[in-house]
Structure 1
Amino acid sequence: MKIIVPMAGRGSRLRPHSLTVPKPLIPVAGQPIVHRLVKDIAKVLKQPITEVAFVLGDPAWFGDDVVDSLTDLATSLGAKASIYRQDQPLGTGHAIMCAKDSLSGPAVIAYADTLIRADFNLDPEADSVIWVKQVDQPEAYGVVKLNDKKEIIELVEKPQQFVSDLAVIGIYYFKEVSQLKDQLQKVLDNNIINGGEYQINDGIKGMMADGKVFKTGEVSEWMDCGNKTITLDTNQRMLGFLQADGEEQLVSDSVKNENSSIIEPCYIGENVVLKNATVGPYVSIGNNCVIENSTVKNSLIQNQTSIKNANLDEAMIGNHVKYDGKFTKISIGDYSVLE
């Protein structure tokens, strides 16, 4: 089984946090988004992963450190890492075709701004499975239309009239992904463009026209990381799941606790110093941070950051930040928000 991860976008909705770190590598509950996504998919599939192919953007943005991180991720699953580049933002279908050399055999395609919780078996009769989640407002999403056999017969984008309440979350399984490649090549050759881009949906519609059977795989949880507010909500939910699972150590043994309280669930990384602080619930703190004379809850703090004299709630703070709540003369970079 292969996993194909298109992740060439800049993540502009998550600025300023994505100004220096590509959005899929921003940690949520202690691990980069894309790391959690790939590991969770591998867990759901319950079969060996032979290759993980990543489609990255400009090497100036997705540099050697990113490639090294993704290679380590694939290696941790016993898989080969393949790196491809999408030089122009020409859509989901184009991004997938940038990895055409890896488009053979069974594969999952997953966009790297989504996290899931799921437990199911792939339908052996299906040529493809599209992961979906039941939603309250289907008119805001792309949804699937099913026939009497519970097979997907149509993809409908933001339907004005009710089609179904099963929203497409951006994760797909193909029993033979070369069939999608063939259809996407037709999309490119015939310049079939929707919304100004080449879309995966047009390749899927070509497979449906050829009689391929599409089924749904429903996830129990679908968590987005599109903007700051949604990412903080995802961090909270993921910490709750990880605490219930009990499979990961969430608070490092190297944390130095000086007269401080930790209200679980929290993720606290390596060599963090807590001095006269109350941390939690639902806080993630990266490596080598100092939290002093502060109260922090419902927040996400990256690496190498110092927080003093602060009362933080629903805060998202990046790497190498120094914040002292006593001072009013502050230098803040582009796209930052203080509320």
Structure 2
Amino acid sequence: MKIIVPMAGRGSRLRPHSLTVPKPLIPVAGKPIVHRLVSDIAKVLKQPIEEIAFVLGDPAWFGEDVIASLKELAESLGAKASIYRQDKPLGTGHAIMCAEPSLSGPAVIAYADTLIRAEFDLDPTADSVIWTKKVENPEAYGVVKLNDKNEIVELVEKPESFVSDQAVIGIYYFKDVAVLKGKLQEILDENIMNGGEYQINDGIKRMMSDGKIFKTGTVDEWMDCGNKKITIETNQRMLGFLEADGEELISNSVQLENANIIEPCYIGKNVVLKDTTVGPFVSIGDNSVVENSTIKNSLIQTNTTITNANLDNAMIGNHAKFNGNFESISIGDYSVLE
């Protein structure tokens, strides 16, 4: 099994936090988004992963430190890492085709801006599985249309009338991803674009026209990391899931001086908490210092110093300094607000 991860976008909706770190590498509940996504997919697949292909953007943005992190991730799952580049933002179908040498055999394609919780077996009768989540407002999403055999027969973008309540979340399984590759090559050769981009859906629709069987794989939880507000909500939900799983979230190197932690919280290595209450639903990265503060429902990265603060629904980057009265603050890496 292979996993293909297009992640060339810069995550503009998550600025300023994505100005210095690509969005898929931003930690949520102590682990980068793409690391959580790939690890959770591997758990669902329940079979060995031989290769993980990452499609990155501009080398000036996705540099050697990013590549090293992704190779470490692949190796932790017993897989080989392959690195490809998408030089121009020409859509989902184009991004997948940038990994053309890896597009053979069974594979999962997953876009690195979402997190999931799921437990199901892949349907062996299906040529492809499109992972979906039941939503209350399907008119706001791309959804699947099913026949009486629960096979996907159509993809409908933001339907004006009810089609189904199963929204496409951006994770796909292909029994042989080379079939999709062939269809996407046709799309590229014929220069078929939607919204000025080459789309994966156009390749999928051609597979459906050829009679390929598509089924749904429904996830229990679908968490987005699109902007600051949603990322903080995802951090909260993920902390709750990890606590229920019994995962150790607080490093034994945390220094507490008249401090209180209200779980669930993720507290990284060598964090100092002094005259402070942290939690619930707070993540604090390695080597950060928090003094004379109260923090809840917030996401704070590494090497950051916070003093005299009362934070709720805040997101603060790496190497930042904050000393102020703002409650729902959002500041990026290397920022100082005093």
The match for 1:294 is 293
Residue pairs, 1:57-206, within 5 angstroms: 57-206=57-206
**Counterpart of 1:266 in structure 2: which amino acid?**
C
The match for 1:284 is 283
The match for 1:42 is 42
User: Is 1:315 matched with 2:314?
Assistant: yes
CA–CA separation in structure 2 for the residues paired with 1:152 and 1:276: 56
Give how far 1:196 is off: 1.1
Aligned positions, number: 331
The match for 1:262 is 261
Aligned CA distance change for structure 1 residues 46 and 253 (closer, same or farther; 3 Å): same
**Counterpart of 1:263 in structure 2: which amino acid?**
I
% identity of equivalent residues: 80
TM-score scaled by length of structure 1: 0.96
Give how far 1:16 is off: 0.2
The DSSP-based 3-state class of the residue aligned with 1:83 is strand
1:298-339 deviations in whole A, cap 9, x for unaligned?
A: 000000000000000000000000111279xxxx779x9x9x
The match for 1:56 is 56
**Counterpart of 2:300 in structure 1: which amino acid?**
I
Give how far 1:195 is off: 1.2
**Counterpart of 1:192 in structure 2: which amino acid?**
I
The DSSP-based 3-state class of the residue aligned with 1:105 is coil
User: Is the Cα–Cα contact under 8 Å of residues 17 and 332 in structure 2 kept in the other structure?
Assistant: no
Give how far 1:187 is off: 0.3
1:90-145 deviations in whole A, cap 9, x for unaligned?
A: 00000000001000000000000000000000000000000000001000000000
CA–CA separation in structure 1 for the residues paired with 2:256 and 2:182: 57
The match for 1:274 is 273
The DSSP-based 3-state class of the residue aligned with 2:10 is coil
Aligned CA distance change for structure 1 residues 333 and 241 (closer, same or farther; 3 Å): closer
For structure 2, list consecutive stretches of 5 or more residues without a partner in the other structure: none
CA–CA separation in structure 2 for the residues paired with 1:249 and 1:178: 40
User: Is the Cα–Cα contact under 8 Å of residues 316 and 332 in structure 2 kept in the other structure?
Assistant: no
The Cα RMSD (Å) is 1.3
The 4+ residue runs of structure 1 with deviation greater than 4 A are none
The DSSP-based 3-state class of the residue aligned with 1:169 is strand
CA–CA separation in structure 1 for the residues paired with 2:250 and 2:325: 28
The match for 1:239 is 239
User: Is the Cα–Cα contact under 8 Å of residues 317 and 332 in structure 2 kept in the other structure?
Assistant: no
1:194-232 deviations in whole A, cap 9, x for unaligned?
A: 111000000000111111000000000000000000000
1:159-186 deviations in whole A, cap 9, x for unaligned?
A: 0011000000000000000000000000
CA–CA separation in structure 1 for the residues paired with 2:178 and 2:230: 35
**Counterpart of 2:150 in structure 1: which amino acid?**
K
Give how far 1:249 is off: 1.5
Aligned CA distance change for structure 1 residues 85 and 217 (closer, same or farther; 3 Å): same
**Counterpart of 1:186 in structure 2: which amino acid?**
E
For structure 1, list consecutive stretches of 5 or more residues without a partner in the other structure: none
CA–CA separation in structure 1 for the residues paired with 2:176 and 2:87: 26
CA–CA separation in structure 1 for the residues paired with 2:332 and 2:12: 15
TM-score scaled by length of structure 2: 0.96
The DSSP-based 3-state class of the residue aligned with 1:53 is strand
Give how far 1:279 is off: 0.2
